[in-house]
Each structure stands twice: as structure tokens, then as C-alpha cells.
Chains A and B, each alone.
Chain A
Amino acid sequence: MHSFGYRANALVTFAVTILAVMCSLASLSDNFNVPTPTADVKVLNINWFQKQPNGNDEVSLTLNISADLSSMFTWNTKQVFVFVAAEYETAQNALNQVSLWDGIIPSKEHAKFWIHTTNKYRFIDQGSNLRGKDFNLTLHWHVMPKTGKMFADKIVMTGYRLPEEYR
């Protein structure tokens, strides 16, 4: 500690090191949180179901998405990114996942929500395999922290089926 500059440097370095330790502890504390989310997606209507000129099937749905994700929020949560994906199997691909809707939940107060919407992103197949297809709707979430590790998980909802014929 031989001069002003030396002491200032030592203090700043040590302070930043302690800050790094505090942030990693904050991230570790997220592991103690056990989230208990609930979600439900209803397909209210198949608006239309067509084969596009390029040969791919496309379907437009109206969905009612309701979920309670408030148990995921901790003191170290910045926001939760949530999206709904349709998952199905075809002869070419073992798993197809098409994202239909996503949103950002900025705080715990907004975490219990329902939304009545058409699909935000287009549901287009690679090919024309969708007639009579059984599919799952999965609600995925990414819990984005203020510092540290991001947690991601999902709820799979099964039992949805597309019509046998185009309309």
C-alpha cells in the first residue's frame, strides 16, 4: 500500500472479486428453488389447412394458452421466456418441432396468464404429412437470471390431432 494509486488499485480489484463471488452465490441459490408450473393449451379452432404451392402443408390454429409460471421466479430472475411448440413425427424426420407462439414474462405478477391468439409463427411442414397427424403441444420455458445459470424445462401436452382433409 505504498501510494494512493496502489491502494486504489488493490481496493478496486478486491471489490470486483468479491462481487464475482456474490453473483455466483446468487446463481447457486437458484438451485434451491423447486418450481411447480402448470400449463394448459387448447386448440379452439383450425382456421384453415392448405397445401402451399411449394408442396408444404400449412395450418392456422387459434389457441388458448393458459399457464401459471409464478413459482419459477426467484430474487435472481430477470425474465422468463416461454414458447409453445408443436411436435410430431413424420416418415422423413423422427421429430419435428415448430414454434407457434412465444412471449416474455417480465415479472412474477405477469406469470399467471392466459392468452387467446392465432399462432404467432406459421405452422408449416417440410412436405405434406400433416393430414390426420397426431401432435403434441409443448410449453417450453427459459428462466433467465440476473446473474448466472439459465434453467430451461418444458411441459408436454399430448392428444392433439389435425383434420384428415384440407379445409
Chain B
Amino acid sequence: MDWEGQKRSEIFMLISLVVFGVVAFGVGYAIGSFQIMMLIYGSGVVLTALITVPNWPFFNRHPLKWLDPSEADRHPKPQVNTAAPKKKASKQK
């Protein structure tokens, strides 16, 4: 999931769970059935989980533009002179 997709997924999750909670309580209280309230809410949680948790393609509409490898080679990382040994091998051209 890209950043935009993550944000959308989280907002959708928050709103969806709250809406299902409110609807479940309202319907359950109105008809006097605790069981119906639990059923509506439980199915709402499962539905929200199915929509927001897996990595669906519609959450990846703003993909990150990673730098092309050939472009990266033309701009080598600057060398930092330190006494400690480097953990990463720097690209040298």
C-alpha cells in the first residue's frame, strides 16, 4: 500500500467501525434485541477488516516513484570521511 492508500484505509476503518457501532446499537435498542446488535456489529467488523486490512490494488493508485537505477548511478552518494568502518558499501563510479 502506498502512503495515500494507507491514509485512506485508516480513515475508512475508523469511520466504518464507528458507523457500524452506532447503527448496531440503534437498531438493537429500537427492536429490543441484544443479539441483533451483536450480529450487525460483528458482521460490520468482519466487512471492515476485509476492506481495509489486505493490500488491495485500489489502495495503490498513488505509487511511490522510486528512482530509476541508471539515474541513481549518475549521482553517486557523497563519501563521508569517518574513522569508523562503513557498514554500507558506497557506489563508486
Q: CB within 8 Å of B: which residues of A?
A: 1-2, 4, 7-8, 10-11, 14-15, 18-19, 21-22, 25-26, 29, 74-76, 146
Contact = CB atoms under 8 A, between A and B. Distances in A.
B54 A22 contact: no
A166 B66 CA distance: 99
Q: Is the interface of A mostly helix, strand, loop or mixed?
A: helix
Contacts of A2: 6
Q: How large is the interface on B (under 10, 10 to 19, 20 to 34, 35 or more residues)?
A: 20 to 34
Nearest to A146: B34
A75 B32 contact: yes
A26 B18 CA distance: 16
Contact of B41 (A11, A19, A76): A19
> Which has the most chain B C-beta neighbours within 10 Å: A2, A10, A18, A29?
A18
Nearest first, the 8 closest Cβ-Cβ pairs linking A and B are: A1-B6, A75-B32, A18-B21, A15-B45, A7-B53, A1-B10, A8-B53, A22-B25
